[in-house]
Amino acid sequence: MTRITLENLAHSYQPKPSHDDDWALKPMNLTWEDGGAYALLGASGCGKSTLLNIISGLLVPSSGRVLFNDRDVTGLPTAERNIAQVFQFPVVYDTMSVRENLAFPLKNRGMPADQIAARVDEVARMIGMTAMLDHRARRLTADSKQKISLGRGMVRQDVNAILFDEPLTVIDPHMKWELRTQLKDLHRRFGHTMIYVTHDQTEALTFADQVVVMHDGRVVQSGTPQALFDAPEHTFVGYFIGSPGMNLLDAHVDGTTAHIAGAQIGLAHGYAPLSGKVQLGIRPEFLRLGSGTQGLPFTIHRIEDVGHHRIIRGKVGDADINVILPEAQEIPADASRVVPDPGRAHIYVDDWRVDPSARERAA
Ligand SMILES: Nc1ncnc2c1ncn2[C@@H]1O[C@H](COP(=O)(O)OP(=O)(O)OP(=O)(O)O)[C@@H](O)[C@H]1O
């Protein structure tokens, strides 16, 4: 198994890239630790597949290096990288049975027949296809074929890493949940380095120990699901993770006070003078409704009951703001303010979080 390091990596599909937008991947340094379960998360077009294809060897980067442990594999083809890949759509041999499909990667490696049989049985159980082992792949639904692809990706235990590119797109919702749980279980048992590309935050957060968030060709944050929720390093992370995502309010910050929409609120930290686009970010979970002169002026537009909580949608000044209210909590009849929990508010300058503790450490 393998630690994967991306060193000064960048990629452009243009022959002569001249400005920022020409780069599908902007220069990055990133390490995927040996045995980590990672999700690579981001909106369509942010560069996830490009990055995955560079790791797998389907694409040679315009600059930088890919290291598997200390070995430079940048110029090596996929076949020499000893990795397993599962793509968005099924890649199976139609004329073979399910059993033969699952056994294929092991036969290629010259594994003894009894070991192949045992491993195929184990993987078939994992993907819920034991009863279909002797069916021809051709007759199966797209959903079942994709399960075979997943099984084939997981059947070898000696691979450096397993790369998944949106593997559950064609799987029905109930099975999705089950397969994700199986993948996590497989990771716990065998400890492969796994990278799972998705644009779905639920998939990312339930599968991965570490989530790498990409935006516009850059890695904007890599961290545990909890860290991404608690302290989004970039406004995109705040907005993309969470349902609804983090609220952002234009602010003027003066020491420990934020001036927003004609009102003032206290912050948990003091900030040096800030220049650029300054915003306060606060998740809907950490706002409460109030009245009088507390907090910020808030106009309620809509209340959505989503079962275990309610989402109050409204405005502070021109900004759309969401508040999450636990089911048991009443909405005050005179609610006209939102009050942020200061310990949960973050300050962003030009979309990047300002770390207040850096200033406090220096003081
Ligand atoms: N073969 C290619 N030639 C030219 N441009 C490409 C090529 N493949 C991708 N791109 C561009 O590179 C950027 C990143 O695309 P990429 O497919 O890596 O993103 P993604 O996050 O995987 O998106 P999706 O989830 O839609 O697959 C996009 O602007 C895309 O249009």
Which residue positions in the chain have pLDDT lower than 50? none
Is omega for the bond preceding 244 within 30 degrees of 0, making it cis?
A: yes
- Angstrom distance (rounded) from CA 165 to CA 89: 9
- Which residues, 6 or more positions from 238, have their beta carbon under 8 angstroms from its beta carbon? 232, 245, 246, 248, 281, 283, 346
ipTM over 0.95: yes
Predicted local confidence at residue 73, as pLDDT: 97
Backbone angles phi, psi at 127, to 5 degrees: -100, 10
**Ligand 1 touching residue 13 (CB < 6 A):** yes
Per residue in 257-299, pLDDT (tens digit) is 999 999 999 999 999 999 999 999 999 999 999 999 999 999 9
Å from CA of 274 to ligand 1 middle: 35
Q: Residue 48: how many CA atoms within 13 Å on its side-chain side?
A: 26
Which atom of ligand 1 is nearest to 199's Cα?
25
Predicted local confidence at residue 181, as pLDDT: 81
Element (DSSP H or E) covering residue 325: strand 319-326
**Ligand 1 touching residue 49 (CB < 6 A):** yes
Which atom of ligand 1 is nearest to 42's Cα?
21
What domains lie within the chain, and their CATH numbers? 4-240 (3.40.50.300), 247-362 (2.40.50.140)
Which atom of ligand 1 is nearest to 51's Cα?
18
Q: Comparing C-alpha atoms, which of 126, 115, 113, 181 is closest to residue 153? A: 126
Task: Annotate 88-124 with b (16+ C-beta within 10 A) or e (fewer).
Answer: bebebeeebbbbbbbbbbbeeeebeeeebeebbebbb
Predicted local confidence at residue 42, as pLDDT: 95
Å from CA of 157 to ligand 1 middle: 31
